[in-house]
Each structure stands twice: as structure tokens, then as C-alpha cells.
Amino acid sequence: MSELSSQLAANLPENTGVRPEWLKVIRETGAEQFRTHGLPTRKDEAWKYTGLGALGLAEVQLATGLNIPSANTTQPSPLAESGLQLNLLDGQVLELTGDAPPGLTVLPMADALGSGVNGLQGLLESLSVKHTKAASGQGFSALNSATLDSGVVIHVAAGTDARRLSLTWSTSQGEKPLLFNFRVCVILDQGAKLELLEQFESNDENANTSNMVMQVDLADKSNLQHIRFQQESDKSVLITRTEVSQQAESEYAYFGFDLGGGLVRHDLHTSLWGAGAKSGINGAYLLDGNRHVDNHTRVDHFAGGCFSDQYFRGVASGSGRAVFNTAVCVHPGADESEARQSNANILLSTRAEIDTKPELEIYADEVIASHGATVGQLDELAVFYMRSRGLSEEDARQLLTTAFCKSVSDKLADPVLSEVISQRMMDVMPQAE
Amino acid sequence: MSSMLKITNLHATVAGKEILKGLNMKLEAGEIHAIMGPNGAGKSTLGNVLAGREGYEVTQGEVIFNGKNLLEMEPEERACEGVFLAFQYPVEIPGVNNTYFLRAALNAQRKHRGEEPLDSVGFLRLVRQKLEVLHIGDELLHRAVNEGFSGGEKKRNEIFQMAVLEPTLAILDETDSGLDIDALKTVAEGVNRLRSKDRGMIVVTHYQRLLDYIVPDKVHVLADGKLVATGGADLALKLEEQGYAWLEDGGIATLNVESAVPTANP
């Protein structure tokens, strides 16, 4: 085990006195798994292209249990004006503004753990079980379980349309870079609807490591729109695992925008358990400097008549490195499923690198599946066409690369939010080198 | 008075192959010149050279446009100085809205001229005017530049861009190719409405048909990288009757033209 893993393992919190008992079991199991396996290394297949060495993680200190002065951190301005706004600092709920519609419950994780929110225990335990099956490469989730106490639980009651809830994440500045562990649980009862807009922003002063696990449970006919926008500092590390469980005719739509971050890793996994469930997983990543963004997505079709669509666009310049791994598995019996995968990338420099790998396994009948992955350069004829109308070469290239990524933000239902995100992408669009 | 456009002894190569081999031509403000000629004569090369497309290398000669050396300018400078090329194959640009693109282009040109940028309201007003004059519906505005456009829509979009950008020198590169007769008429009408005493136009075409609707002041015949004959609008009709075969026969004398340049080197 690496020095960092040993250091983190030695600093895991004590579990004596932790109540309820099931929480104690989750934390102890996580701790045990972490002590056995540690953080993932390049030897783990899923981490082959993403090493943890580059970013001075060795210096990092586990934030759990530390007394951090939570001053001097400015909150990023929200992407959207409308809806409920929830600000979290170091994983603790700082403030909730706006009126929560009846049927929507937002609880700090610490409170929710003690109050017995319906379905929460089962949801938290479901992740714990997965560790024992395949612990290797899941060190971050084990660490997250071992420290489970911060984050937020969101519950939407049956038939409620809770509309937009914005979640803004920020962390405090410590003496050393800190490692925070957050857990988010989103539970939508039958027919419930929610738009969750997550925003991560930091500057070099409060550049930390965040290790986040999100668990989503979608009952029959529920609908979650999940938008994640991150513009972290180049010195920040953001590790996320999202597990989505979908029942019949539920809908999950994810839109991820990676504009920043020194090292970003997102494992996004949806399981389609009920017939007619739909999963749309979309993302755009913009790389420059020495930044590294790794998206691993996977959809498991367990029931028939389900639909999944994975759509990612990426641009890399400088010495940026993007990894995109998308997998679909259509299990036996999941007949008449449809699965689409599409990933296209633009390389703007000779030093930038993009590794893209689609995986497709089908064990059912009457399945429609398509996949495509490309890495290319900008269309030079299009650049000339735009210049011939008066646009500068720089503007033409910026407009073209933005348009390429905008095909992701254009899918957002809210045109105002779509425009805001598209503009933010344009502002940081990497230039050709 | 100096010409709006003066091309002298223009030689250009594409991928190492010489295409233009000493082309001479003058265009005055207010005139429309047609350039006709067989396939491979260099018609499209001329348009691309004038617009500054990469890969079209000028090896000899000069092009003076309104007293300035055109060949020294970047493509966007040429556009800002008033040069417009209507592409033979307009490029599809997925994700870039047609209106947004055109406004960005117009404002880049206005900035070059030291004018204030047009805001979206002002721009839309201008666009509505132009659409009305050109009898074009506004459905093209909301789509991505040329993406999924039919051949006719692409060509109409080129003419629409030209109408909005109001160039001093417009070069139409086989704008008639691939158009049915109705689309051809629409495009020709658009061009005719843009005729003005301050504007020069070069209409490059393979067929005479377009010239029934856009009557040129002069017709040039381009063959093997040079202008080999120049005449009035009736020259186009003669070409239509006799085809281009006479060029190979060296039979220029059979045509009653204003001037004929010997094709053979002495």
C-alpha cells in the first residue's frame, strides 16, 4: 500500500459509540476494505490511465475530525437564479434559501442518519455490499464509507414536482491541502420529479481534494435531471462516484460539464432495473495545461424495453489528458433494449492526449445498439469559411470548438441555463497550440 | 481612374500543380464580369486565391484591390476590406447558429471600419429587411450554418450573407451549380438586387444559363489558367452554342469577340 494510503488508513475516525448500529457497520466495513486495498493504482484496470501521483496528493490530510476554521471561503455565484439554493461548505449545510415545495425534504447527512429517512439505510448499505464484490479500484468509495457523516440527503415524495434544487459545493482553506469526503443521497418516490444542479468551484487558495459519492434511487415513473458543472482550480482534485438505480419508466438525465480541475475522475453507473426506464448520460470536458479529466460511465440494462444514450464531447489542448470509458451491458432477458454511445473529441495540441474506449456487451434479443468514438482536429475548411466572412482566426476556432461542446448544453431543457453554461465554456475554451 | 480590381500576371499552384498561368483582368466598380470556361481551367482557383484560402499558393503576379495589395492580407482582412466569396460548396458548421455567425461576422467587419457593433435588435431589423428584399423565408436563420441545408438553401444562404455583409467585391463561385430553375431564379434575383455602382461582381459559371438572369457587362473565357477571350454578354451565348471544344482546336478566330488572346506560347 502507498504511503498516502497508509497515512489515510491510520487517520480513519474511531467508530466506538457510532449509532445507529447499521451506520457503524457501514463505516467499519469501509475502513476494513480501505485498510486492505488502499487507494487505486494504475495496476487496477479501471485506473490504468489515471495515476494519483502527479498532484501532490501525498501532502493531503484527511479532513474528517479536524477542526477547520471555515472562514475566508467565498461562495461561487450560482449558475441559475431560480429554484432552491443549497450551499454546502466542507460537506456541511451552510444555508438553504428559497421555499421548499411540500414533498421535498433536504436534510444534512448527519441529521438524516439519525432520523431514519425512509429507504436511506438500504441505499447506504447497497454501496457497502458492492465493495465486497469488487473491492479493487474502489478505495475511494471505501474511504468515503469509512468516514460517512457529511453531505446531504434529498427526498422527493410521490407525485411531487420539486423543480430545481441548486447545490453549491465549496471547501475551506487548511494549512495543508485537505481531503473531504461527501455523501449525497437522492431518493425520488413514485412519479416524483427533480432537477438537481450541482456546482463545484474553487480557487488556488482553497484547492483541496473532494471525494464524493452520490447514490440515486429512482422509483417507478420518477424523473431526475442531474446537471453537474465544475470549474475547480487547476490544483484541485475531484473524485466522484455516482450510482443510480432506476425502476420502471423512470428517467435519469445527466449533464456533466468539466471546465476545470487538476485531476478529475467521475465513475457514473446507472442500473436499469425496471422496464421502460430511460438513462441519458451527457458530458463535455475541456482540457488545457496539465489537467486530467477521466470519465468512466456504465449502463447496465437488466430489464427489457429500456433506453440508454451516452453522449460526450471533449476538447484537449496543452498537455491536457482526457480519458473516456463508456460501457453498456444488456443482460439476459433485457430484450428490446436500445443503447447508444457517442464520443467525439478534438485535439488542439500535439502534446494533449485523449483515450476513449467504448465497450458493449449484449446478451439479450432484439437489441438496438450503436457506438462511435472519434478523435480529430478542427475542420480547417470551416475555419476558412468563417474567416472569409470576417471573423479572426482565433474567434473562428473558438466558435467552432464551443459549438462542438455546445451540442451537450443544447440538450438542457432550460434555454437560459443552456446559454449560461455555453458562455462559461466559451470563456475558458482552450486555444490551439 | 484606377480599377477596383486589377489582376496582373497571376500564377498560382495547388498542391504543387500550377493552375493559374498568368491571368490578367480588370474590374471596375459597378460592373459584373462573368468568367466561363471548361472544367479544370482554374475558375474556382481564382475565387479561392482572391479570398485567401490556404493551400492556394500565389507564385507570381499581383492583385490590387482598391489600391491595396490584396495578396498580403489574411482572409479576414480581405473580408473586412469588402471581399466576399460565395462558395461553390458552402461549408456546414454544426452547432453554430446562422444568425449568431452572421452577426459576429458583420460586427467583426464593422469593428474593422471603426463602427459600433450592432446589437441583436438592430441586427435582427437589418436581417428582416434583407430577407424581405431577397424573398427568403426566415427559417434559415434559426438553424446551424448550412447544416442539413439542401443545395438550393445553401446557395440562397450565401446570397443572404452577401446581402447582409454588403461587400465591395463579390465573387460567386459556380453559385448556379446544382440548382433547379426556380432556385436559380431566386439566386439571380438576389444578385441583381445587389447590383450597384459601388459594387463589383465576378460571376464564375460553367453554363450560360445563369447569365440569362444575371446579364454581365463582360464575359471572359478562362482556359488552362489564362483568360483567352473577352467579350460582351453575347459571348456567353456563342459559348453555349459551340461549347469549349474550339479552345483545343485553337479556333478563337471563329468567334466574333472583342479581344482574343492567343493561347499558344510563341
Predicted local confidence at residue A157, as pLDDT: 96
Strand A307-316 to A278-287 pairing? parallel
For A85-96, what is each residue's pLDDT tens digit? Answer: 999 999 888 888
Q: Bridge partners of A203?
A: none
A381 touching chain B per CB within 8 A: yes
DSSP bridge pairs for B202:
B33, B171
**Paired strand residues for B259:** B230
Strands in B169-173's sheet, in edge-to-edge order, are B83-86, B169-173, B200-205, B32-36, B218-223, B226-231, B259-260
Task: For the beta carbon of residue B29, count every other beta carbon within 10 angstroms.
Answer: 16
Name every residue whose Cβ is closer than 8 Å to that of residue B23 and which is 6 or more positions away in sequence.
Answer: B7, B9, B10, B11, B42, B46, B61, B222, B225, B226, B227
Predicted confidence (pLDDT) per residue in A268-316, tens digit:
999 999 999 999 999 999 999 999 999 999 999 999 999 999 999 999 9
CA angle A42, A43, A47 (to 5 degrees): 45
Given the candidates 3.50.50.60, 3.40.50.300, 3.20.20.80, 1.10.10.10, the CATH classification of the domain at B5-260 is 3.40.50.300
Beta carbon pairs, A and B, within 8 Å: 76
Cα–Cα separations (whole angstroms), residue A37 to A209, B67, B231 = 20, 75, 86
Tell if the CB–CB gap between B96 and A400 is shorter than 8 Å.
yes
Cα(A23)–Cα(A27) distance, rounded to whole angstroms? 6
Chain-chain contact of B106 with A390 (C-beta, under 8 angstroms) = yes
The pLDDT tens digits of the residues spanning B70-105 come to 999 999 999 999 999 999 999 999 889 999 999 999
**Residue A64's pLDDT band (boundaries 50, 70, 90)?**
confident
- Using a pLDDT cut of 70, give the percent of chain B over it: 92
Enter the DSSP assignment of A13: P
pLDDT at A130 over 70: no
Could B93 and A384 be called an inter-chain contact, meaning their C-beta atoms sit closer than 8 Å?
Answer: no
Q: Is beta strand A92-97 parallel, antiparallel or unpaired with respect to A151-156?
A: unpaired
Residue B90 in contact with partner chain A when CB distance is under 8 A: yes
Contacts of B101 in chain A (CB under 8 A): 386, 389, 399
Are A403 and B161 an interchain contact pair (Cβ–Cβ within 8 Å)? no
**pLDDT, tens digit, for every residue of A69-80?**
665 567 778 898
A244 beta partners: A216, A270
What is the bridge-based pairing of β-strands B226-231 and B218-223? antiparallel
pLDDT digits (tens, 9 = 90+) for A193-249: 999 999 999 888 878 999 999 999 999 999 999 999 999 999 999 999 999 999 999
Q: Which residue of A has its CA nearest to B75?
A: A388
Q: Is B70 on the interface with A (CB under 8 A)?
A: no
Interchain proximity B54–A390, CB inside 8 Å: no
Mean pLDDT of chain A: 91
Q: In b/e form, how buried is each residue of A330-350, taking b as 16+ CB within 10 angstroms?
A: bbeebeebbbbbbbbbbbbbe
pLDDT for B266 equals: 34
Q: Is a pLDDT exceeding 60 seen at residue B261?
A: no
Q: How is residue A89 written as a grid cell? A: 461548505
List chain A residues with CB under 8 Å of B96.
399-400, 403
CB contact under 8 A, B108 and A391: yes
Instruction: Kindly indicate the confidence band of residue B254, based on its pLDDT and cuts at 50, 70 and 90.
Output: very low
The CA angle B151-B155-B161, to the nearest 5 degrees, is 145
Cα–Cα distance, A127 to A141 (Å, whole number): 8
Chain B residue at shortest CA distance from A386: B105
Rounded to the nearest angstrom, the minimum Cα separation between A328 and chain B is: 27
Distances (CA, A) of A342 to A258, B147, B199, B237: 17, 19, 47, 53
- C-alpha distances (whole Å) from A72 to each of A89, A170, A206 are 11, 11, 9
- The ipTM assigned to this model is 0.93
Residue A260 predicted with pLDDT over 70: yes
**Among B84, B92, B105, beta carbon nearest to A391:** B105
Q: Return d(Cα B153, Cα A264) in angstroms, integer.
A: 44
